[in-house]
Amino acid sequence: MNGEGQAWYDRLLNIDRRWIYLLMAVVVIVPAIRPFAVPVGISGEVRAVHDFIAELPPGQVVHLAIDYDPSTLAELHPMAEAILHQCFAQDLRLVITALSQFGPAMADEIVTRVAAEHGKQVGVDYAFLGYKPYPAITILAMGTDYRVPFPTDYYGTPVDSIPVMRDIHNYANVACVISLAGGNVADMWIQYGNAKYGVPVALGVTGVMASDYYPYLQSRQIFGLLPGVKGAAEYERLRNRSGEASRGMPYQVTSHLLILVAMVVANIGFIAQRRARAGVR
């Protein structure tokens, strides 16, 4: 069916999808050339995570589970950076794991970089235990003793000889677990970490997953939730930092505007088409 003789709503509804791709590319490039500031409000679930960590005394231990891979890096890396900065600034000790198979190298890079900015040393101020397969079993095993699934850390050092791990044996020795997850590892922390051992768990998840975790927030199975890149931007605002998430918000605004306009325009065409067809009948 060619364009001639078609009503405006039929032509509107049958646009080649590649024009939409092109529009998307354009609206994403605009803020790259002309950036602008976007105000970010703070939600209760994000503030809960921030305030929990803020109230921990120096020397307390936080388990940061960097459970994502490069496919969700854009949303979760800013969260990891903001939380690492906060923990190191408060002189908290960190136990870090990376239970996603493509995540350890990313986790190593970000932890090493942020730790260096705060003058923190691996083994003394934090331990990076690395990766083990089967996250559910690993989470359960860590609850007994970190040394069961992780006899050595990511660098091959026996955990027993790591100074920071001397008095850290299992979840009873950590204040909380914060899992930044791009997949169902988040559910595993709730089911195997919190339900079995009672360790307080907070989650940082992608936008796709975020809406699924509000029941756990309401039932207090998690004490806080960072929903996607907006959650990351809110956390950065709480830390008075302009990180990747905050810098990405203008792009979010232009893209969302495009999609909102697309939804409205398409439905105007659809309603017009439906009325025209009803009129013909």
- Between residue 156 and residue 215, which ones bind other proteins under the rule CB under 8 A? 156, 190-192, 194-196, 206-208, 210-215
**Residue 263: strand, helix, or coil:** helix
**Contact with other proteins (CB under 8 A): which of 149, 183, 204, 224?**
149
SS3 label, residue 198: coil
**Piece in contact with other proteins (CB under 8 A), picked from 51-59, 60-68, 80-88, 253-261:** 253-261
Task: Please identify, among the stretches 54-62, 87-95, 151-159, 234-242, the one whose residues bind other proteins according to the rule CB under 8 A.
Answer: 151-159
Considering only the stretches 2-10, 55-63, 82-90, 107-115, report the one whose residues sit in contact with other proteins under the rule CB under 8 A: 107-115
**Cα angle, residue 144 at apex, residues 216 and 62 outer, rounded to 5°:** 55
Cβ closest to other proteins, residue 70 vs residue 163: 70
State the Rg of the chain over Cα.
23
Query: Between 87 and 130, whose beta carbon lies closer to other proteins?
Result: 130
Cβ closest to other proteins, residue 61 vs residue 269: 269
Instruction: Yes or no: say if 75 and 206 are a contact pair by the CB < 8 Å rule.
Output: yes
CB neighbours of 157 closer than 8 A, spacing ≥ 6?
A: 123
The verdict on 249 binding other proteins (CB under 8 A) reads yes
Q: Which of 3, 39, 119, 279 forms a contact with other proteins (CB under 8 A)?
A: 39
Name the nearest CA neighbour of 76 among 243, 257, 255, 251.
243
228, with CB counted inside 10 A (0-12, 13-18, 19+), is: buried
Q: Which stretch binds other proteins (CB under 8 A): 56-64, 80-88, 173-181, 260-268?
A: 260-268
Q: Which of 64, 68, 92, 130 binds other proteins (CB under 8 A)?
A: 130
Strands 201-205 and 224-227: parallel
* Contact between 110 and other proteins per CB under 8 A: no
How many residues in the shown chain lie near other proteins by CB under 8 A? 97
- Residues pairing with 145 in the sheet: none
Residue 118 beta carbon to other proteins: minimum distance, rounded to whole angstroms: 18
Asked if 265 is part of the footprint of other proteins (rule: CB under 8 A), the reply reads: yes
**Residue-by-residue DSSP string for 112-143:** HHHHHHTT--BTTTEEEEE--S-HHHHHHHHH
The stretch among 48-56, 87-95, 173-181, 245-253 that binds other proteins (CB under 8 A) is 245-253
